Structure 1
């Protein structure tokens, strides 16, 4: 097997399409997981969605038990603790299928992600034995209590504190946590508090502890089927054996858990997009105006094609990253008592990719839901049609697991810091680009070369920023955000193109045609966006003759003849309408 690429190194060279994992590589086991998870959502969740939205007492717990019986709560848990120790592709599949489950997707995510993984990765053997089997079966519901009224994105600024009892047997916790998913019916919480007001530490807190209470349910715009409450801690005694990991190392837990949380959220978003495409394509086929289905009108075709294309790119990114995470797991020694921490450290290598997935997929989701409502017209604005709920539900995805603004800073800061430390060959790539510019770069001949153009424009922008500010570039958030967008779009362009090229080599042009069209449509669209972003960044970093020279270089990097994306979109839309669902 070729050497495992480091996080962020997609920027520095060519990737072999055969080395990238795609949904076309699903094994029979993966397909079985997909059928099981999708069947559960379609058969058990969607028929009771109105009851979930009305917060019918006990329904979420009942559904979690059903999910536990099907093995949908333990994909990331070792078999020793009642789980199934599945690969990250299986985990991704479950997350994707849950994406159409409305508020229950949050209930499930709280149970299997941020509420479970702190124990999986950082718990002691005794803690895992005590809590994980019940979480995997659904008999115990868990929640993650990090956010506070005054500490959202700046989570480490939390005020909840803990002091050791005089007899040394307990920590006594006081504070308030806000916007806590599953809080209304959780049996245990992963709570973060500062010991002696400064040592940020994780605790496993049982819900029946004296002094622990919850506020009323939040009245939310969407995901109404999930429970979201304030958690109040008033002199809550937590046994010292329920300290999670090490005192003062709570930030290690929080940040590592967020990596997987962001990745799984991107999977949710992809599944949500596929559901909206299915609803919209069926509606467009059935709805007639001017004596023909609206699916036959050019502007509706364009919407369906673009919804499908952007979802294809997000899906390609998610499963490419899942493949990298799986490969990483195979390189690690997970046999020791600290195997969870080893796994979390391995996942951290792809923190940049996890953040790119989260931002891109959730923003595609917002676009797809908006266009879905538009295709439904006035009916899309009524609760009679499911697309109205999907539109409301999707908005929060850009806020939790780190806002998209925070994740944009993660993307750029990870690239810059790893590059300046020499962990990735950023400085060498920038120097190589400058040498190529000096010797001359001709017009780009195809979409594969446009992917390289995107990388080059990003490297040009990063090079100028680092030359001017060094690591201080990270203080200029407007520039940081634009560089993150360039990186994200470039990763999306390449992921979609590699998937299409792999399909072309493996199954031939006829079978790969829709994938090739979607990759080309996205690349031709995104390259212009990246060019404009780079122009803004350069204008923010330079002026006068220096800027004029940089803009001339930028123009050299982005010479190409655009493809006929209008014709390609028509072909994509025809396939979507014929199938009445997402196609790839």
Structure 2
């Protein structure tokens, strides 16, 4: 693999652990340019007028409703944000996608339909497809004419994705592969036109394939009866002697893991962004209800304990939102360099891999903020919150899956330190140099007086926390080494 260029510190993955943050290089949502604000406003208006007015039909999956609304989202450009302009997209990047995701996830199921399409459904083709593959499919996906789905999990392999059993066998004449197997928990399966399917060639080499719904041998199972996200489609995808042209191999034979896991990095980012939007919507719902509901002669919002709930949630949500937009802007900046990683053909954008750690952190942190907000929204509604007549119940049900899909939070918690150690071993993260510096600082430590400025105190606590993370990481690295 060709050596990568050195990036500025703030555009290097995990750099937040090493250096004090320079506010001038951190993007915040208040800095959104007018055109991106307008796009987010378009998404908000679409949700208010088109989607949220048809919740009953969506939640009961009345035939054609979800697909109709999906197509309308496409007509508005909401599905084309990250697709390159020369393939029918808007080419706007991650910052733009966050503002739209925040709106679309105000209904969990519809948000998943659009997010699974625009994210893990379309991005494998966007980042790993050949010119011919992109020319054939991308414009249809960007416009919403076609819907995409991502097929990795199987009945016997969820978190252990590479234990998949789906097989791909090359034909004797070398013109096509025969795919056989079953994929599980596939979002959009009931409606999708194009599937990115991962299978093992010769039972060993994990490979990605572009599989059209129209290919003979492709079928789907019945809708899963889910706890939440009832307006989305989740089914098995069944492949029985499906003939896939060799031209539809995505990337290289045997390099499917590069595609699967790098795409999941951005999938985790998208999940975090969506969780921020869903959290905001639920918090607004709870605050509105607390202002209207009277108990003991005054609104619930007048009680200190309720105010404390809202304050705690707002603080955590502010942190989640800030981290999401900061990471989005960093990804966009690295994407703009055009630098690519050549470990697979065609080479893929460096940004897919560079911020893998941050994407996992966002996935865990934002999904758990959403869980807390959803739980407390139901709590504030009291008994009414436990009924389907109020939105708190649906929000509570829809929130729960976010700690499971795109890699469980447990898997991501294991991935974060593991990735840090691997990068240290490969010279991509100067862990031991940082540990040495922290150790010296601790030996030279002098007590610091508490400031009258609470933000200064918070900054000192944060710096101390980062030093502890580095120190403990260094100890773990020295003790366990490659075992991590």
If the length of structure 1 is used for normalisation, what is the TM-score?
A: 0.78
2:464 match: 453
Q: Secondary structure at the match of 2:406?
A: coil
Contact residue 332 and residue 342 of structure 1 kept, 8 A: no
Q: Secondary structure at the match of 2:199?
A: strand
Matches within 5 A, 1:145-544: 145-333=151-339, 341-343=347-349, 345-443=350-448, 445=450, 446-472=457-483, 474=484
Q: For 1:261 and 1:398, how far apart are their aligned partners in 2? A: 13
Q: Can you list the C-alpha shifts for 1:166-186, whole angstroms capped at 9, x where unaligned? A: 222210010000011111111
Contact residue 332 and residue 346 of structure 1 kept, 8 A: no
The structure that is helix-richer by fraction is 1
Q: Can you list the C-alpha shifts for 1:386-445, whole angstroms capped at 9, x where unaligned? A: 111000000000100111111111211111121233322211111111112222241463
| Alignment root-mean-square deviation, CA | 1.6
1:76: Cα distance to partner? Answer: 1.1
Q: Can you list the C-alpha shifts for 1:168-225, whole angstroms capped at 9, x where unaligned? A: 2210010000011111111121111111111110011111211111111000000010
2:131 match: 125
Match of 2:37 among 31, 36, 42: 31
Q: Secondary structure at the match of 2:348?
A: helix
Q: Can you list the C-alpha shifts for 1:76-102, whole angstroms capped at 9, x where unaligned? A: 111111111013200121122222122
Flag the 1:2–1:296 CA change in 2: closer, same or farther, 3 A.
same
Runs of 4+ in 1 over 6 A off after TM superposition: none
Q: For 2:436 and 2:470, how far apart are their aligned partners in 1? A: 9
Q: For 1:216 and 1:120, how far apart are their aligned partners in 2? A: 30
Contact residue 333 and residue 339 of structure 1 kept, 8 A: no
Q: For 2:348 and 2:187, how far apart are their aligned partners in 1? A: 27
Aligned length: 470
Q: Can you list the C-alpha shifts for 1:442-478, whole angstroms capped at 9, x where unaligned? A: 1463111111111112122222222322232x2xxxx
Q: For 1:80 and 1:276, how far apart are their aligned partners in 2? A: 38
Gapped regions of structure 2 (runs ≥ 5): 1-6, 451-456
1:106 match: 112
Contact residue 359 and residue 398 of structure 1 kept, 8 A: yes
Flag the 1:378–1:444 CA change in 2: closer, same or farther, 3 A.
farther
Matches within 5 A, 1:560-571: none
Q: For 1:25 and 1:95, how far apart are their aligned partners in 2? A: 17
Q: For 2:321 and 2:475, how far apart are their aligned partners in 1? A: 32
Q: For 1:401 and 1:82, how far apart are their aligned partners in 2? A: 27
Q: Secondary structure at the match of 2:169?
A: strand
Q: For 1:340 and 1:20, how far apart are their aligned partners in 2? A: 31
Q: For 1:101 and 1:340, how far apart are their aligned partners in 2? A: 36
Q: For 2:346 and 2:23, how far apart are their aligned partners in 1? A: 31
1:160: Cα distance to partner? Answer: 0.3
Flag the 1:411–1:2 CA change in 2: closer, same or farther, 3 A.
closer
Q: For 2:209 and 2:449, how far apart are their aligned partners in 1? A: 55
1:340: Cα distance to partner? Answer: 7.4
Q: For 1:83 and 1:436, how far apart are their aligned partners in 2? A: 50
Gapped regions of structure 1 (runs ≥ 5): 475-584
Q: Secondary structure at the match of 1:324?
A: helix
Q: For 2:351 and 2:165, how far apart are their aligned partners in 1? A: 31
